């Protein structure tokens, strides 16, 4: 999106030079008033004008720290963005609105959303953001009214202005998070094969969230540098049910491994008995042995052996 921001090109000078000039004006004006009182000069007009100018000039002093900027206005008209760090003097008829360009964290409250399959889940995110375009941030969104508590005319501190930007980002980030959460299932049990899920997506999900956020914030001049999902869980009303389902899935998976291993062990036992000529078993006895071994190997509790000292037949 095209930007209307540009660098301030108006009258500006080093603040210490301007301060020296002001002190000189004050000294000359005071000397003129004293000289007028002694009758050495005929009129004190220049001295009075000098003192008046000395009272007005301090309005133009400005100080900027690293990663700060001032939006300069001349009777409501945008005249550019001043970003030179240090102590400066600018045209005292200019009004300035200071903003911070530093990166900031935002950790909104967790919200309840529905995933792709309709399951209610709790999800949270953490953002790192900064102001990228001062013109858009100041004039494309109503940050002044938000920062001044609705009056729109009261002087606004930098902290209040940045909180207004943060509030705007929080609303948009909630909307973006709801959109992203609705695009994916919570986990593999709900998703189709090879589909990305919120639990397993990791970096891919975070990249999608970052893209959605910056799309929404493009018109505001704010930029999200990093977005990560930092909390993900089923909503409390279905958490217990989903936990039992996950436990059941885990039990089934474990049973599959146990049965697979038991079948392998039974086959090995039959082959060993046959190859070592320990005993000859007919099909009925093999079936009985397989049944007994499967029960022993797959049981949750230890088997109680029964010793048969009689004949096999």
- Residue 155 pLDDT grade (very low, low, confident, very high; cuts 50, 70, 90): low
Q: Return the structure tokens found at 267.
A: 């086959």
> pLDDT for 10-60, tens place per residue?
889 999 999 999 899 989 888 888 887 777 776 778 888 888 988 888 999
pLDDT at 151: 55
Cα gap 207→134, rounded to integer Å: 25
In the numeric block, the tokens 């100080």 are attached to: 63
Share of the chain above pLDDT 90, in %: 33
Q: Which residues contact 16 (CB under 8 A, 6 or more apart)?
A: 87
Q: Burial-class residue 123 by CB neighbours within 10 Å (0-12, 13-18, 19+).
A: buried
Share of the chain above pLDDT 70, in %: 85
pLDDT surpasses 70 at 223: yes
Cα gap 270→287, rounded to integer Å: 11
pLDDT at 32: 84
pLDDT at 302: 64
Cα gap 127→145, rounded to integer Å: 24
Cα gap 38→36, rounded to integer Å: 5
What domains, with CATH codes, occur in the chain? 12-97 (no CATH), 104-234 (3.30.479.30), 240-298 (no CATH)
- Residue 3 pLDDT grade (very low, low, confident, very high; cuts 50, 70, 90): confident
Q: 258 vs 16, 201, 245, 275, 299, CA distance in Å? A: 83, 30, 20, 25, 10
Higher pLDDT, 145 or 114: 114
Q: Burial-class residue 223 by CB neighbours within 10 Å (0-12, 13-18, 19+).
A: middle
List, in sequence order, the alpha helices (H) in the chain. 15-37, 45-56, 134-135, 143-147, 158-181, 198-201, 203-217, 236-275, 283-298
Across all residues in the chain, what is the average pLDDT? 83
In the numeric block, the tokens 């004039």 are attached to: 139
pLDDT surpasses 60 at 312: no
> pLDDT for 234-287, tens place per residue?
887 766 666 776 677 777 777 778 788 878 887 887 777 777 777 677 777 777
> pLDDT for 176-218, tens place per residue?
999 998 988 887 765 566 678 888 878 899 999 999 999 999 8
Cα gap 1→12, rounded to integer Å: 30
């Amino acid at each position: 999106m095209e930007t209307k921001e540009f660098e301030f090109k108006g009258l500006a000078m080093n603040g210490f030079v301007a301060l020296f000039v002001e002190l000189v004006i004050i000294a000359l004006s005071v000397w003129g008033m004293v000289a007028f009182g002694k009758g050495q000069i005929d009129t004190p007009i220049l001295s009075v004008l000098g003192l008046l100018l000395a009272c007005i000039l301090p309005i133009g002093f400005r100080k900027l720290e690293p990663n700060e900027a001032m939006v300069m206005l001349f009777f409501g008209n945008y005249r550019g963005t001043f970003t030179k760090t240090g102590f400066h003097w600018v045209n005292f008829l200019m009004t300035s609105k200071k903003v911070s360009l530093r990166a900031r964290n935002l950790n909104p409250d967790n919200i309840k959303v529905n995933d792709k399959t309709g399951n209610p889940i709790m999800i949270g995110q953490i953002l790192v953001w900064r102001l990228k375009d001062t013109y858009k941030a100041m004039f494309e969104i109503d940050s002044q009214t938000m920062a001044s508590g609705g009056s729109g005319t009261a002087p606004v501190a930098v902290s209040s202005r940045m909180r207004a930007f943060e509030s705007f980002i929080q609303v948009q980030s909630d909307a973006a998070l709801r959109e992203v959460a609705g695009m994916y299932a919570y986990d593999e049990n709900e998703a189709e094969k090879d589909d990305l899920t919120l639990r397993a997506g990791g970096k891919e999900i975070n990249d999608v969230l970052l893209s959605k956020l910056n799309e929404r914030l493009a018109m505001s001049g704010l930029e999200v540098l990093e977005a990560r999902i930092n909390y993900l869980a089923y909503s409390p009303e279905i958490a217990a049910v989903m936990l039992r389902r996950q436990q059941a899935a885990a039990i089934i998976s474990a049973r599959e491994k146990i049965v697979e291993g038991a079948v392998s062990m039974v086959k090995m036992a039959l082959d060993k008995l046959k190859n070592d000529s320990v005993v000859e078993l007919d099909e009925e006895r093999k079936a009985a042995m397989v049944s007994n071994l499967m029960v022993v190997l797959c049981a949750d509790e230890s088997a109680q052996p029964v010793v048969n000292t009689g004949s096999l037949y």
